Amino acid sequence: MLAAGLALALAAAAWQYLSPASGEIMSGRDVRLALLGPESSALLVYHPFSGTVNAFTDRRRPRRKAKPADRASELAGAAGAGGGGVFYVELSTAPDLNVLWSALNGWRRDPRLLLSAAAWARGLKASGRTDLSSFDLFSVFSEFSGLGSSDFILTDLRRGTEQDGEAVDDSRLPMVEVLNASGKDGLAGLAAKYLRENGFDVISVGNTAKQKRTAVFGFSEDASAALALRAALGLDELEIRLRPTHSSVAAAEAVLGEDFDAGRLKK
């Protein structure tokens, strides 16, 4: 009995090391997983030692008839995340990290989420939409089940594209949100127009409860987007507040308070 148990344990260990993704996890090396949607993609780079994920989103349409492995490699190259193999999963819709976080954060309260996710993973393999082995799928899924949205560091990829054979610069400044908390009509729209003219991708404009002080928030541990937004609005003395656990497609947000000088937007 003991010998049989030992043999089974050795076989499982060998299987784990022979499965590429599982072997990288066991060795503490980064695991790169490309989520390939029909219109956009995302690259997840999992760091086993720190238990964090760099998530790179790419909203460009893929090349026509591009093979999944080629798309995964190109995505890793654009993210500067080379240096190892890239696994892929083909999705029928655009990658939605909010859905992923919801499942990761909610399965402990509702174990059915874990079961449905496991069934989804099995279906991927059965339909040939991933190059991960069944054991690798189990290993990666097990690792990710311990993560939450705060463990993801988001980066939106902006790359040059080609149209009619000519290179087009798509390297715009970060995606941001603008909220009007000043009580002055149209201030957020005016600020959004100004920011767009200066290269920012303003994805959300709206009003919020009135507040005296203007605030700039960054939604990842990398403050570069918030710094760029602050500088563009002429608020260099303003303290930036980082909220890496905040789930948003935007990289930064400006909340314009009663103290915001709209004259800055006319310079």
Structure confidence at residue 174 (pLDDT): 75
Sites in the chain below the pLDDT cut of 70: 1-19, 82-84, 96-115, 117-118, 149-150, 158-173, 247, 267
- Joined together, the tokens standing for residue 68 give 């999944």
C-beta of residue 52 within 8 angstroms of C-beta of residue 151: yes
Give the burial class of 73: count Cβ atoms within 10 A of its Cβ; 0-12 exposed, 13-18 middle, 19 or more buried: middle
* Paired strand residues for 255: 179, 215
Res 14: pLDDT: 37
- Cβ atoms of 132 and 125 within 8 Å: the answer is yes
Determine which helix (DSSP H) or strand (DSSP E) holds 197, and give its type and residue range: helix 187-197
Domains and CATH numbers, the chain: 23-161 (3.30.420), 175-266 (3.30.70.2390)
**Structure confidence by residue, pLDDT tens digits, 47-98:** 887 788 888 888 777 877 788 888 888 888 877 776 567 889 898 887 766 6
Write down the pLDDT at residue 17.
42
DSSP 110-122: -THHHHHHHHHHH
**Cβ atoms of residues 75 and 41 within 8 Å:** yes
Whole-number pLDDT of residue 219: 87
pLDDT at 258: 94
Tell me, what's the pLDDT at 136? Answer: 81
pTM of full prediction above 0.85: no
